[in-house]
Structure 1
Amino acid sequence: MQFFKKRLFQGAGIRMYTVSSESWKTSRSNFAFDEFVYMLNGLANVQAEGEGAQIFNSYEFFTIPKGFRRAWDSNGHVLFKSIVEEKSFQ
């Protein structure tokens, strides 16, 4: 599997990336940060623990909250932008 990740911005408590990869599957038991994902190309299948899957296509976005338990897989070549909040601004 080929994977490309480039940091576009990093500031106080927040980072922005462009990520590109081939198909992959991953799962996390406790997501470590809040993330906003904007799909530029491809398809993402996100499934919360104990819930049905949600499919996101090109030009759609979704959020993954800190502590989220989920599985994620993608089909084909995927390109997305990701904004990561590393600490709470409250």
Structure 2
Amino acid sequence: MGKPAGVLLFGWIAAGPLGLGLPKGMRTIDLFVVGCVAAIGFTVSLFIASVAFEPGPVQDAAKMGALFSFFAAALSIAAGKLTRVQKQEN
């Protein structure tokens, strides 16, 4: 939950207090969904776990943690539905 919260918080800071704004049609709550999607990143994590740790329980735990990040996809879909994210037409 750290990445979605961080993307939302720092996106809000950049868009609001810093005055950088958001793209047309994007709401602040959409940043949470972007953060959920950004949390899906298990391929690099699997590679790093395999080269950083010796084969054994630590490497297995690291790989399982990376694979569990796949569930962020389900969280992203749920967050998109709950926040009513819609495709914007150009």
TM-score over 0.5 for the alignment?
no
Larger radius of gyration: 2
- What TM-score, normalized by structure 1, do the two folds share? 0.22
Query: Which structure has the higher relative contact order (CA within 8 Å, separation 6+)?
Result: 1
